[in-house]
Structure 1
Amino acid sequence: MSIGNRSRRTYLRTVGCVIGGAVLSGCLGDEDDVLGDPEYVEDRPDPGGVSMDELPDLSGELTVYSSRSQTRIGELLDYIDDEYDELTLEVRYDDTADLISTIETEAETPADVFYGSESQSMTHLKEEGYTIELPDDVLEMVDTGSVDPDGHWTGFTRRFRAVAYNDSVFDEEDLPDDIFAYAEDERFEDNIMWPPDQGSFQAFVTAMRLFHGEDETREWIRAMVDDQNIETSPGGDSALAQAVGDGEVGVGLTNHYVVRDHGGDDLELTFTSDDAGAMYNVTGGTVMDASDDQETAADFVAHLLSAEAQEYFATTTWEYPTTDGVDPLEGLPDTDEFEPPEIDLNNLSDLDPTLELLREEEIL
């Protein structure tokens, strides 16, 4: 694919049409106001799906606990807050573990909505009895592969596991489509990186345990460390993308959207097939059982599935929408090109054995 050579996004470039760093495509000549990145929204087709104008107005006070960073979603939440004069939106941004710990130690959490950066955090809250089943009209906005079978959470975006590579070092056709081959091929010795402290990486290892068994997963990890001398990213997936793009290593195990964090010409992506390395996960939301206004909280979740929000996600986070009618960013692979394994995303919440394994192998 060839999106890695596009420059990083530039905020505030369209003076007078930017709200909180997100541009309205109406300012670019489109008929409807659609949130999106000013660098990528122009010339995109009008998004389909349900517009915010078709959803119930939001009013009252809502508290959102978000493990997605303010950098990724703050502009969208600010926009929704500004759209409704009667709405007061309070957002607490923190990492997943701290937010979950906070909820579990609060006598009664003030959070109305939990915004998860991965499915396992939402599943954990569901299993512990902190969430409610979402209304059918909200769940029906989402494709079936991105929603909790029990209806307690819905995905807002999808991200796929990927292998980032430097195309001045490797040609895509020469890279394997089997995740286990990366532990065996001597071309990757001293030339590969991973980010083991990231939740998405830990979900990937959890998927490997579920698909291939703990013994095979442990053997793979040991081979990556002992045979390939794999490097640990100094700063998560973004630093990994930088290292691959700069040629410090030839390949890195990551998520597909990291190309947005690197503006060089040499960073590209390839994908494995029908194994843990090809899995996908979702960001998403759930309504808390302790909420004093569960109806408005559910309507807020619906707003993050609206055409405007899905367009915003597509052009700013470079993730895949979970509703019909909004195209992924041009240059990203079509979802038909992916061959992910079948998985119930709820099973990714079985994280403790993964963390124990990573600690035993001194990865964490």
Structure 2
Amino acid sequence: MRRPLARTLTALAATALLLPALAGCGSDEPAGLVIYSGRNENLVKPLIQKLEKNLGTKVEVRYGGSAELAAQLLEEGDKTKAGLFFSQDAGALGALSKEQRLAPLPQATLDKVAPAYRGSAGDWAGVSGRVRVLMYHPDQVPTPPNSVHDLVKPEWKGKIGYAPTNASFQAFVTGMRVLEGDEATRTWLKGFKANQPKAYEGNVNVLDAVDKGEVAIAPLNHYYWYERVAEKGADKVKAKVHYLPGGDPGGLVNVAGVGILKGTDEKQAAYAQQAVDFLLSAEAQSYFAEETKEHPLVAGVKTAEGVPALETLQPPKIDLGKLDSLKETLAMLQEVGLV
């Protein structure tokens, strides 16, 4: 009989059945490791190629949305071909952990990452971090607000941009639900909706809108701004970035992370463990820092130039594994008319 959490993900599982087939990296030889990746192929393919060389075996990857892949893994159970789940966010890993679909990681592996950025059950580890920030146009916003709660004030009506269907926005809403409760979050969403925010398809489009002055301010992940600056130069980017202080829910730090699937054969499990350790190596952590402008989570690896170190920030304290209630978040967003 399917367990309760699996039932909550039935619709996502149906979507997952439509996901692309496994994509190989190399020859036609059988794969030593199969990865289900919620991270975008264009973003991590160079790293997967490095991983394949490091393991000395063929790696096959199935790409898709993290929530949909998590639902698919719940459906597959012990019959899954996957040895490793590489999730874009902690919530999908938390969903698998709750259903006991992830194998325990060695303490030596877990100790590479601070407790705040790994699963409380010891079965997944974050590999890179992203911070929710406010992007703003300085001509319209001389002094940005210090709380996402300020965005429901009347002065922001018609001036806010957001990406309602983006997983990071939905994870932020889930984080607010965990931190402040459903009723407080529903009230905030209604106030946000009343301010007539402008919806965009994807975070890049939101950043473009802020940069052009179409909107004055928008909640986004930090790295979009740093990638844009690296591409065009700081003098060519009008938008600015503001980190929220004081543990504000709008300053959530979410992580991409990995977990080893239960039920995989012994050989693939060994490759999966090597893959986890590779993703936590200085080489891979430096890739996240320099290429994607995310925060490395292993001590001793610096963030990219200009990106503030995690220890200098004031994010809310939260068990990231509790960001697994996506269905409830989507229902709330639909209820208030934001998706």
TM over 0.5, yes or no? yes
Q: Does the 8 A contact of 2:81 with 2:264 survive in 1? A: yes
Which residue identity lines up with residue 216 of structure 1 in the other structure? A
Following TM superposition, by how much is the alpha carbon of 1:353 offset from its aligned partner in structure 2, in angstroms? 2.2
Moved more, 275-284 or 291-300: 291-300
1:91 partnered with 2:61: yes
Matches within 5 A, 1:1-364: 61-84=32-55, 86-106=56-76, 108-171=79-142, 174-186=143-155, 188-226=156-194, 228-233=195-200, 235-262=201-228, 263=232, 264-273=236-245, 274-292=247-265, 293-364=268-339
Q: How many corresponding residue pairs? A: 301
Two-structure CA RMSD over aligned residues (Å): 1.8
Question: Given the superposition, is the C-alpha separation of residues 131 and 363 from structure 1 closer, same or farther in structure 2, using an over 3 Å criterion?
Answer: same
**In 2, Cα distance between the equivalents of 1:73 and 1:286?**
17
Distance 1:151 1:246, change over 3 A: same
- Tell me how far apart the structure 1 counterparts of residues 261 and 94 of structure 2 sit (CA, whole Å): 12
Q: Is the 8 A contact 1:241 1:261 kept in 2?
A: no
Per-residue displacement from partner, 1:98-148 (whole Å, max 9, x unpaired)?
312322333611000000000010111111221101112211221222111
Gaps of 5+ in 1: 1-19, 21-58
Superposed displacement of residue 90, structure 1: 0.4
Q: 1:194, CA displacement in angstroms? A: 1.2
Determine helix, strand or coil for the equivalent of 2:134.
strand
Instruction: Give the CA deviation at 1:348.
Output: 1.2
Once the two structures are TM-superposed, the CA of residue 260 in structure 1 deviates from its matched residue by 4.0
Between the aligned residues of both structures, percent identity stands at: 30
Q: Which residue of 2 aligns with 1:51?
A: none
TM-score under structure 2 length normalisation: 0.84
Q: Which residue of 2 aligns with 1:27?
A: none
* Offset at residue 280 of structure 1 (A): 0.8
CA distance in 1, matches of 2:254, 2:93: 12
On the 8 A contact 1:111/1:290 being kept in 2, the answer is: no
2-structure distance, mates of 1:261, 1:141 = 26
CA distance in 1, matches of 2:193, 2:120: 37
Distance 1:83 1:207, change over 3 A: closer
Matched residue SS, 2:139: coil
Instruction: Provide the rounded CA distance (Å) in 2 between the counterparts of 1:71 and 1:355.
Output: 27
Give structure 2 stretches of 5+ with no counterpart. Answer: 1-24
Secondary structure of 2:58 counterpart = strand
CA distance in 2, matches of 1:298, 1:306: 12
Aligned partner of residue 323 in structure 1, secondary structure: coil
Higher helix share: 2
Instruction: Provide, for residues 76-108 of structure 1, a one-character-per-residue CA deviation record: whole Å limited to 9, x for no partner.
Output: 111221345x41100111112331232233361
User: CA shift at 1:192, angstroms?
Assistant: 0.7
